[in-house]
Structure 1
Amino acid sequence: MRTLYVVTHPEATHHVDRVVGGWHDSHLTPAGVRVAAAIARALRVLIPDGSAVELFSSDLQRTRQTAQAVAALFGVEPTLDRRLREKSYGQAEGRPREWLDRRFVPPPAVGERMNHDEGVDGAETKAQWARRIYAALDEILERPGEHQIIVTHGGSLTMILAAWIKMPIESAGYVAFRAPSGSITTLREDDFFHNRQVVSLGERPERAAPRDDAG
């Protein structure tokens, strides 16, 4: 049995400053630091004592801080991987949200969506974003870990879930999984059928609780 816990980092300075995140290296607010500690405690409840735990994280400051709170409680070192970053928004990063909103070109309802040019210099396409997330998750899942934790970003959660259920990359341009900042999504693969479940999506740490595998 493999269980994967995908953590979206809690409130960061780009949220309260209303600027574009992406690869902009914002850090957790004091409220975000408190939620990161609550996430670590919730994971400690979810994961049985004595279990081997692997921890992976985006290398941006806000995710590193979240991962460090988890690492301190579990006594493990996070593996930092830049492929787990949020989508890059190029020139828009660190600028007011309104700046991006005025320039953003939304994808068409049908047709080419993954390689669509959103109108912002230096921004990643969805295809580029998806390919790096898919590759990072593939490497994590090649490891035999029973309990694995990934600390990432709200947008990148969608691509992690798409990769988890083996959605073809060309279809990932149509999907969006929404989870709040500072939440835990639980994924599980059984040892018999090797089915991949989405057990919970975007649970707040105060609501996370051990689950009965027999259900």
Structure 2
Amino acid sequence: MRSIHVVTHPEASHHVEGVVGGWHDSDLTPGGLRDAAAIARALRAEVPEGAEVGLVSSDLQRTRRTAQEIGQLLGVEPAWDPRLREKSYGEAEGRPQEWLDKRFVPPPATGDRMGHDEGIEGAETRAVFAARIYAAMEEILSRPYEHQIIVTHGFALTFVVASWIGMPPESLGHVNLRAPSGSITHLREDDFFHNRQLVRLGDTRHLAR
């Protein structure tokens, strides 16, 4: 049985400052650090003692700090993969959310949604974003771990899960799986049929509210 635990980083400074995230390198807030410790404890309870674990994370500060909390408790050294970053919002990153809202061009209801850049210079299209997440997942899944932990971002989680269940990239134009900050999504593949399951999406029961 193969299990993959996908973590979305908890509260970061860009959340409370009202600025655009993306590749803006915000760090966890004090509350986010507490939640990262809670995530680590929840994963320690799920992953059997002595199991060989792979831990890979986006290389931005907010995901690095989350992965470091997890790695310390599980005794695993994180690997950093920039392909697991959130979608890039180009020149909007680090600017007030209102700045982006005034310039944002929503994708069309039909047509080329994958190639849409939302009217923001330097922003990634959905096609480019998905392609790099799929490439990261192909490498991650090639590693023979029974338990793998992936630390990433809210929007990126959609493409992590889509890659896991084998959705063709060209079918991703309308897909959006919403998971809260600080959540754990559990993916599993059985050893007999090799069916891939989405066991839990965006679970936050481990967080104290």
**Which is further off, 17-26 or 103-112?**
103-112
Secondary structure of the 1:174 match is coil
1:211 aligns with none
The 1:182–1:41 alpha-carbon spacing in structure 2 relative to 1, beyond 3 Å, is: same
Contact 1:3-1:148 within 8 A present in 2 as well: yes
Asked whether 1:140 is paired with 2:153, we answer no
Cα distance in 1, alignment partners of residues 39 and 205 from structure 2: 5
1:98 aligns with 98
The structural deviation recorded for 1:116 is: 1.1
2:57 aligns with 57
Asked whether 1:177 is paired with 2:192, we answer no
- Aligned AA for 2:32? G
Cα distance in 2, alignment partners of residues 205 and 22 from structure 1: 26
Cα distance in 2, alignment partners of residues 31 and 147 from structure 1: 27
2:87 aligns with 87
- Structure 2, unpaired ranges of 5+: none
- TM-score normalised by length of structure 1: 0.95
Secondary structure of the 1:101 match is helix
Secondary structure of the 1:173 match is coil
- Aligned AA for 2:68? Q
Contact 1:184-1:205 within 8 A present in 2 as well: no
What per-residue deviation string (whole Å, max 9, x for no partner) do you get for residues 109-147 of structure 1?
111110113100000000000000001001100111000
The structural deviation recorded for 1:19 is: 0.4
Cα distance in 2, alignment partners of residues 128 and 189 from structure 1: 27
Secondary structure of the 2:69 match is helix
Cα distance in 1, alignment partners of residues 66 and 173 from structure 2: 28
**Which is further off, 63-72 or 163-172?**
163-172
Contact 1:42-1:205 within 8 A present in 2 as well: no
Cα distance in 2, alignment partners of residues 104 and 86 from structure 1: 17
1:149 aligns with 149
1:45 aligns with 45
The structural deviation recorded for 1:205 is: 4.7
The structural deviation recorded for 1:4 is: 0.1
Cα distance in 2, alignment partners of residues 167 and 104 from structure 1: 28
Secondary structure of the 2:187 match is strand
Question: How much identity, in percent, do the aligned residues show?
Answer: 70
Contact 1:39-1:205 within 8 A present in 2 as well: no
Q: How many aligned positions are there?
A: 207
1:117 aligns with 117
Secondary structure of the 2:173 match is helix
Secondary structure of the 1:55 match is strand
- Aligned AA for 1:165? I
Cα distance in 2, alignment partners of residues 186 and 136 from structure 1: 18
Could you say what the CA RMSD is over the residues aligned between the two structures, in angstroms? 0.8
Cα distance in 2, alignment partners of residues 111 and 165 from structure 1: 24
The structural deviation recorded for 1:193 is: 0.9
- TM-score normalised by length of structure 2: 0.97
The structural deviation recorded for 1:191 is: 1.1
The structural deviation recorded for 1:29 is: 0.1
- Aligned AA for 2:91? Q
Secondary structure of the 2:180 match is coil
Secondary structure of the 1:188 match is strand
Cα distance in 2, alignment partners of residues 205 and 40 from structure 1: 13
Cα distance in 2, alignment partners of residues 172 and 160 from structure 1: 12
1:210 aligns with none
